[in-house]
Structure 1
Amino acid sequence: MSKTEIAAYLITLGYVGAFLFLSLKQARASGQPVWIFTRGSRSQRLPALLFKLGFAGSVLWPPVRALLGGEAAFGMLSGLPGLMLTVSGAGLALWAQLHMGRSWRIGAAEGESGAIVDSGPFAFSRNPAFVGQALLFTGLFLVRPGVVELVFALAVLVAIALQVRIEEGVLRRDLGVPYLTYQRRVSRWVGRPC
């Protein structure tokens, strides 16, 4: 593995470790479980599976690939832009998770929504944690543009697209007018509301 690949892998390990640690900490602080994929609708099964594939793969595949002697990459893209996306994505996702505090959930289930968080990164995106994860996995693919890395990145991007729509429906039903007002004011991703 190149130095850039090692750096991206260490950032990924750090992000996944921090994500899990903060989720556990936030569950203890709120007195409620934060993993609620299994409490939500059956439509969350596919996004949950895709997230697990992407996250577990990004942690487990690089050492396996190194032990096996690597694989053919699509071409040598510059690793620096990918590394910058990886760092900024991990940072944004962790900032959003920290900022949510007791409202942090993984998945969506009616009656289990936290309070609306509309400050910090949530002032410019309704889904900054997902935006950060999308940047992170896109960056990982750019650092090492291989077939397996593409599969992991696409798994996470598809999971994000599916999960956001599910969560928005749950939040509209749980939080009503305050969420609709927030939805009109802040974009789903970044920028002007859509």
Structure 2
Amino acid sequence: MTPPTVSLALFTVFLVVGFGWRSVEQRRRTGSTGFRGVSGRPGSLEWWAGVGFVLAIACAVLAPVLQMVGVVSPLAVADRPEVVFTGVLVAAAGIAATVYAQLAMGDSWRIGVDPGERTTLVRTGVFGLVRNPIFTAMILFGFGVVLITPNWPAIVGLVLLIATIELQVRIVEEPYLLAVHGDDYRGYAASVGRFLPRTGLRR
């Protein structure tokens, strides 16, 4: 298999397992898929966080496709078998970590935010190490894709993914959690890192 084919295969697994299977499992357990859609009015920062995430996914899919058909070429400095192999390992780890963190959320797992909904604040397991392990795992997966198909659309997609995740967490999710859980979330955010342990603490 060529690197673009491997990248597309891993991305398919990521979508099927991380979004498809997980939403089916959530519906079986709770009666809801967990999808809450894009927050905010069109043009707002909240709205761009959701739209940017979709665009990041589009870049991640286009990157291997464009490389496969010869429209873009991989960066020469990273176009080596050992880099591709490392990318496969990193992307696979990102998929596994995403699913693990999703399952650790239990019935509180959601895609998007419903301001009128109250979910349990999960603070145990991997959520005792970082507040947003699913997003950390998704960034890890995106980095793996860049290593497999190191071209400019893949790099743009990764940068866009990180930017929109930052927006989603800071502008949408943290204000929601503060409003719903108050001092419980303040204490949690002051002691557990945002994406990595002990980093991004809210003082």
After TM superposition, the score normalised by the length of structure 1 is: 0.87
Structure 2: 5+ residue stretches without partners: none
**CA displacement at 1:30 relative to structure 2:** 2.2
The one of 146, 149, 152 aligned to 2:154: 149
Residue 17 of structure 1 corresponds to which residue in structure 2?
Answer: 16
**CA displacement at 1:8 relative to structure 2:** 3.4
**CA displacement at 1:127 relative to structure 2:** 0.3
Residue 97 of structure 1 corresponds to which residue in structure 2?
Answer: 102
Distance 1:151 1:126 in 2: 25
Residue 46 of structure 2 corresponds to which residue in structure 1?
Answer: 44
**CA displacement at 1:129 relative to structure 2:** 0.3
Deviation per CA, 1:167-192, whole angstroms, max 9, x where unpaired? 01110001112211211221111211
The one of 130, 137, 141 aligned to 1:136: 141
Q: 1:59 to 1:113 in 2, by over 3 A?
A: farther
Distance 1:5 1:80 in 2: 12
| Counterpart contact for 2:36–2:111, Cα < 8 Å | yes
**AA in 1 matched with 2:88:** L
Deviation per CA, 1:75-118, whole angstroms, max 9, x where unpaired? 24222222222111111111111111210111123222421111
Residue 191 of structure 1 corresponds to which residue in structure 2?
Answer: 197
Deviation per CA, 1:118-139, whole angstroms, max 9, x where unpaired? 1222111100000001111111
Aligned residues: percent identity?
A: 28
Deviation per CA, 1:47-66, whole angstroms, max 9, x where unpaired? 11111122244345534542
Distance 2:56 2:71 in 1: 19
The alignment covers a number of residue pairs equal to 191
Residue 112 of structure 1 corresponds to which residue in structure 2?
Answer: 117
Residue 8 of structure 1 corresponds to which residue in structure 2?
Answer: 7
Q: Secondary structure at the match of 2:113?
A: coil
Residue 75 of structure 1 corresponds to which residue in structure 2?
Answer: 76
Q: Secondary structure at the match of 2:123?
A: coil
Distance 1:188 1:93 in 2: 16
Runs of 4+ more than 4 Å apart: none
After TM superposition, the score normalised by the length of structure 2 is: 0.83
Distance 2:105 2:112 in 1: 14
